[in-house]
Structure formats: structure tokens, C-alpha cells
Amino acid sequence: SIKAKSRTLKFPCEELHGTKFSSVHPILPWLVRHAAACLAYGQRGPDGRTPYERKKQKSFRLSLPCFGEKVMYLIGPKQSRLDDSWKNGIFVGLIRRSQDLLVATPEGVYKCRSVKCMTSESRIYRTAFYSLRGAPSQPTPGQALMDLPVLLLVDIPAVIVHPPLPP
């Protein structure tokens, strides 16, 4: 279940950062979202296939960093060759449709295609962990929502049968 998988992801994250986070910590909604994605990509059904394999007809091959660990993510196009194009953040999940990775920072949550995992000594990023901002409903505070489906309701009138016209 998602509840059990969330607990499984929460304990190593707390151990990594050396703290227990409260029920209002901004990383918890991301943890539940990532737990659901892990089940969709990894939990095998009675037919021996995952939901991802049933839908895409291929196995999930992307290797992911551990939830809550420090990663370096590649930002968009550089303005200059002197600019640093890799920034630090905390891995909080992925977007299921595009398989873009989600990285949380004190400014908000960003989606990216490339991340580098850190060595075991530098996986902890406590300053960013305690100052994370953004939720799945609004990844970057103050900006429009990201990656939410649009639902359109169209009112179609019922078919009205007219009597035949006289000749």
C-alpha cells in the first residue's frame, strides 16, 4: 500500500538527515507522491508485470537516486561558458508522464532531465532540507501550477427528433 511504502521511504530519509520531520514538513507530500510512483514502477501484479509494463509494454529502466538525498541537477541552457550549469538540490520524485526528475530547493521544486548522485559523504544537504519550499499542487510558490491534467466539461444537448416536414 502507499501508506506502507511511504513509511519505508520516510525512515531512511530521516536517518540520512539525522532528524525526524514533523507532519507539516514540506517534503511529506512529495514522499507520498513518490511512494505511489514506486509502486507503479516496481510492484508486480498477479500476472508478473508492473502497471508500467502493462501500459508501456516495456520495463522501467531509469535508475533513480534515493528519496531525499542531495543531487546535482542540470539547469536549462547556460548564458555563458563561465556559468555553472549544475546546481544542488534534493531529489523528491519524478513526473510519470515524461520521466522528468523533480528536485527540491529553497526556491521551489524544479523538473530536470539530468542529475548526478553525490558520494556517500556528501549526500546530506541539511540547509536545503530544512528550508524546502513547494508542494505537488504548487511546486514553485507564487507561480502557476505544473503538470496538472486539464478537465474540460462539454454540455452536449440531447438529440431532439423532429416530425417530418410536409411536402
Q: What is the DSSP letter of 138?
A: B
Q: Which of 55, 115, 49, 126 is nearest to 87 (CA)?
A: 115
Grid coordinates standing for 140? 514553485
What's the rounded mean pLDDT across residues 51-62?
A: 76
What's the rounded mean pLDDT across residues 40-50?
A: 80
0.75 exceeded by pTM: no
Question: Residue 90 above 50 pLDDT?
Answer: yes
Dist. CA 30–CA 36, nearest whole Å: 10
Weakest mean pLDDT among 28-37, 112-121, 140-149: 140-149
Dist. CA 112–CA 73, nearest whole Å: 7
Find out whether 103 and 125 touch, Cβ atoms under 8 Å.
no
pLDDT at 76: 66
Question: Residue 89 above 50 pLDDT?
Answer: yes
Q: State whether residue 52 is helix, strand or coil.
A: helix
Question: Residue 147 above 60 pLDDT?
Answer: no
